[in-house]
A and B are shown apart, each in its own frame.
Chain A
Amino acid sequence: SGELYCSLPNPRNVHFESVNMKNVLHWSAPEGTGDGVLYKVKYSVYGVGKWIRKPECRNINRTWCDLSNETSDYEEQYYASVKAFLSGMCSDWMETTRFNPLTDTKIDPPTVSLSSTERSISIILTAPEMWRSPEGESLSLLQVYPGLQYNVSVLNKKTKKRWFFSISNNTLVVPSLEPGTAYCVSAQIHVTTPLLHSGFSKEYCTDTLKDKTA
């Protein structure tokens, strides 16, 4: 009967992992099951009455499924669910918690490009691109999070002193620096509403040019 048929242990820890609105469903295999487990995935828009199957994630043996396309409207919220199959047996559907792409996504740090003169460095920050479908229009982070700011850290490698700047646009020129000196820059994205921030980027370094008159 149904109970026996669905007596396979359940997939575990079913959850969305979202970075820059690339929303991927992840789960762990049912306890104690070796190889050969297959999975089905479905999702639903919160408040809308039906579950929708994801054909590309039907009878898959991997433990993730990219639902970015299906969850791309970040003004909606979603659930997703996974069912496991093995040797004619199946598990229950195991669901995620409610997923809100706008607040539950993680933001990658910006990339930093540097140029320098004798006494200044120019910093250009590029925010990560938000996920978009192949035929969709590109979506900038600024469009999704209008209150976006950058925290920028500038380290003088000679003196080991670090300064912090907070800027709204994506460019910064730091003048009046020492010639022939290495400066390392790292930056972070900071959104105030809703409260979200990326980690700091890796450090990008450049040297100010040597003082020709010296």
Chain B
Amino acid sequence: SVTEIRSGFNAIKANIQARDPIKTLSILSYPHSLHKFKSSDRCCITHHLFNFYVDKVFKHCKTEDSYVNRKISSIANSFLSVRRKLGQCHEQNQCMCGQESTEKLDQILVNYEGLNVTSAAIKSLGELDILLDWMEKS
């Protein structure tokens, strides 16, 4: 559940964010915050961002710390089961992506590809609370 993702993230937040020295760039928030998006875009953005984390981010986050790796595995597997539930919502609601959402998702990929893969993955993992705050707020 999202609560478990949040508690898994809280357990490694300081560790992961400390591995990200680049304070001047955000993957999820540049140039605009996720909070700019209306709740109607929520289903589409959440669906695609879950795919982004599962397909691109987690596999490049392996660390030398076995505790951190276990927590990343816990988060990644929780993403799979939450994504499965989101998938049902995605099918039922056919949540279409508006132009703004599509542009935002494209921008996130540009931000991601602008860094080397490990830095981009660790930065994205360190920004998980940005995604969770936005999901839980709207």
Contacts and interface: CB of A to CB of B under 8 A. Distances in A.
Q: State if A and B touch, Cβ cutoff 8 Å.
A: yes
22 contacts: A44-B23, A44-B24, A46-B26, A46-B29, A47-B25, A47-B26, A49-B24, A50-B24, A75-B33, A75-B133, A76-B33, A77-B129, A79-B23, A103-B129, A103-B133, A146-B137, A193-B6, A193-B136, A194-B6, A194-B132, A194-B136, A195-B3
A1 B25 CA distance: 31
Chain B residues touching A, majority SS: helix
Nearest to B30: A47
Interface bin, chain B: 20 to 34
Interface string B11-24: 00010011000011
A100 B6 CA distance: 14
A77 B26 CA distance: 10
Contact of B126 (A50, A98, A103, A195): A98
Given A97-B14, A194-B133, 10 more contacts: A44-B23, A46-B23, A46-B29, A48-B24, A75-B35, A76-B33, A77-B129, A102-B133, A103-B129, A194-B136
Interface of A: 44, 46-50, 75-77, 79, 97-98, 100, 102-103, 146, 192-195
B3 A100 contact: no
A159 B7 CA distance: 39
Interface string B37-48: 000000000000
Contacts of B25: 47, 49
A208 B31 CA distance: 59
A98 B20 CA distance: 10
B130 interface: yes
Contact of A193 (B3, B14, B18, B29): B3
A120 B7 CA distance: 40
Closest 6 CB pairs of A and B: A47-B26, A193-B136, A49-B24, A75-B35, A47-B29, A98-B17
B9 to A, nearest CB: 10
Contacts of A47: 23-26, 29-30
